[in-house]
Amino acid sequence: MKFGVIIFPGSNCDHDAYWTIQNIAKQPVTFLWHESHDLENSDVVLVPGGFAYGDYLRTGAIAKFSPVMESVRKFADGGGLVLGICNGFQILCESGLLPGALTRNAGLKYVCKPVQVRVENSDTPFTNACREGEVLTIPIGHMEGNYFCDQATLAELRRDHRILFRYSTPTGEITPEANPNGSLDNIAGISNRGGNVLGMMPHPERASEMVLGGREGFKIFESLAGIMAEK
């Protein structure tokens, strides 16, 4: 399998993701330039964290018009696997690949710290290396991580088990105190209807080896590598 990591002007987690895929997951990986339509035969496209195009207007609002995202939309429509992390989650929502929007954190402060997220659905290409109900410790670093959608969309996300991660306590309770940004229903990550697109605010690439303090985030990459190996 082959991963592609997009580079936008303002991306700052692209090399972290590339390192994790190449050196920890030991999978082929290439960078994808924002001005190119070519996904270079990638099996998985990763939309990384950062501040694409400076986050002018609002997060992801300009990035959605880039040539590479036009190709990503077509790739996803054909069943291709897409993972958006932090700013990548914001871009996927702006691009219409995921429902809802990421708004300013409750409290209006940038939040950067390790948090706990509970795995709500382990039967996906992104979470098959996890157990349902398992609690992972993964860092966040964002100003606009407050997920919002209308009630009909929330009901659909719940019904179809498309909420993959929720902010929780270390023992797995879903509480307001465990929510670092005010996100609706403690949502930390969701998938699309087809189950092939995931957006998540926590940074799994920042928790993929012990030198960083933990490797529980690596289970996301392990899941993807495993599902592609089966194909």
Q: Which of 13, 86, 93, 130 is catalytic?
A: 86
Amino acid at 70: E
> Element (H or E) spanning 218, and its range?
helix 218-230
Per-residue pLDDT of the chain (231 residues; tens, 9 = 90+): 899 999 999 999 999 999 999 999 999 999 999 999 999 999 999 999 999 999 988 999 999 999 999 999 999 999 999 999 999 999 999 999 999 999 999 999 999 999 999 999 999 999 999 999 999 999 999 999 999 999 999 999 999 999 999 999 999 999 999 999 999 999 999 999 999 999 999 999 999 999 999 999 999 999 999 866 665
pLDDT at 41: 97
Q: Does the active-site annotation cover 34?
A: no
Cα 112 to the center of its chain, rounded Å: 16
Q: What is the pLDDT of residue 1?
A: 80
Domains and CATH numbers, the chain: 3-230 (3.40.50.880)
Choice among 120, 144, 205, 216 that is catalytic: 205
Q: With beta carbons less than 8 A apart as the criterion, state whether 33 and 68 touch.
A: yes
Active site residue 86: yes
- CB contact set of 91 (below 8 Å; sequence gap of 6+): 47, 52, 59, 60, 63, 64, 69, 84
Assess whether 203 carries a catalytic annotation: yes
CB 27 within 8 A of CB 1: yes
Please give the structure tokens belonging to residue 157: 């996300």
- The residues facing 96 across adjacent strands are none
Residue of 30, 12, 44 lying closest to 231 (CA atoms): 44
DSSP string, 72-103: HHHHHHTT-EEEEETHHHHHHHHTTSSSSEEE
Secondary structure (DSSP) of 120-153: S--SSTTTTTS-TT-EEEEEEEESS-EEE--HHH
pLDDT at position 229: 60
* Catalytic residue (one of 142, 144, 203, 222): 203
